[in-house]
Amino acid sequence: MANAAGSHGGGNEPRRVLEFYSGIGGMRYSLMRAGVNAQVVEAFEINDRANDVYEHNFGHRPYQGNIQCLTAADLDSYGADAWLLSPPCQPYTRQGLQKDTGDARAFSFLQILELMPFLLKPPSLLFVENVVGFETSDTHAKLIEILDRTNFVTQEFILSPLQFGIPYSRPRYFCLAKRKPYSFVNEIWNRQLIQSPRPLYEHFHRQVIEDDLSQEDRHKLLQSCQPIECFLELKNPSNNIEVETATSLTGLSNGNPRTLGEGDDNVCDTLQQYYVPLSLVERWGSAMDVVYPDSKRCCCFTKSYYRYVKGTGSLLATVQPKKRDKASLKEQCLRYFTPREVANIHSFPEDFKFPDHISLKQRYALLGNSLSIAVVAPLLQYLFTNL
């Protein structure tokens, strides 16, 4: 069994947890950070490389069979108190075909849902994470219908790391469900879609939250975030705001690439591999989201980030221009965030590591499919309260 125990729960037995679509362990790290008294009794993941990373960090290899083959008896046998699910998002993404329930990648999640009415030992808690857009899908309608039928009460959220002080624009949909007689701390939000984290920290007697932030509120939210430089492992040796040459900054002028700092876990320990080719800057520069070390926001990193496709993530300017505009992009020596930096922005702990055989491209892809621990941890803490 895989442990994820914390301080909440006193002398009680740990809550038994099933982790579906476990990926590289973001949900389990969130459970640990939430400090709830819980034990992951099994994780399920079909991706072999993701399981390599999970096993490397937790010493437990997830079940790699087809989830669609699980029966109600199989699920009952775990005696799980909670199910945590982060099913494939491609059926619902803006950049995907949005086939919804017609997408084969949605079938396993639908199968799990359809087994719930037949369970002799259904979970008391259920947590689902997915992309914004899932909440309007047929799959979502099926989820809510089955939860209602199996005596669950739900609260739904759309939240971004920006609301938790992380300079990362990655809004995600979350469904929290409790089976009666268990109840939420703030019952007024039952059957509601909430776009504020305040219910996670405050007790409300009436609905007072305004979901739609004014422009002034959004500015204050961004200002409350930590700057991106707090999440970087590769720092510029100069804080000079004047434009410097890439040669003096990177040390690549004589053909000898500068190695990264101590503790770097990348496949090829060279700085050069992270710089964006000028050919890409020339072709896609107008569409690139460029950020700076003092920026308070960056865009969502996707699994296609390292080969750069429009909308796959922000790029970091390593040379400060006199004027921050698209005309000077070639002078700004753009680079990709390293996998460790992307992991930092996802709030993975410092001791999270990739096995050496996982390639750079695979690391980006696996991180692009992961979740924000800074957001999920307080949601799980809220879900496990009042048990």
Catalytic residue positions, numbered: 89
Beta bridge partners of 127: 84, 176
Residues with Cβ within 8 Å of 126's Cβ and at least 6 positions away in sequence, in order, are 82, 83, 85, 147, 152, 175, 176, 177, 179
Distance set, CA 150 to CA 115, 333, 383 (Å):
11, 56, 18
Cis peptide before 257 (omega within 30 of 0): no
Cβ contact 163:211 at 8 Å: no
How far apart are alpha carbons 265 and 284 in whole angstroms?
Answer: 29
Closest CA to 116 of 103, 125, 129: 125
Distances in whole angstroms, Cα of residue 173 to Cα of each of 24, 136, 146, 193, 280:
20, 11, 18, 9, 32
**Exposure b/e, 91-104, CB count within 10 A at least 16 = b:** bbbeebeeebeebe
CA triple 105-90-119, angle to 5 deg: 45
Q: DSSP character for 371?
A: -
What tokens appear for 201 in the block? 């920290």
Assigned token pair, 173:
């949909």
Give how far Cα 96 sits from Cα of 93, 100, 105, 110, Å. 5, 10, 12, 19
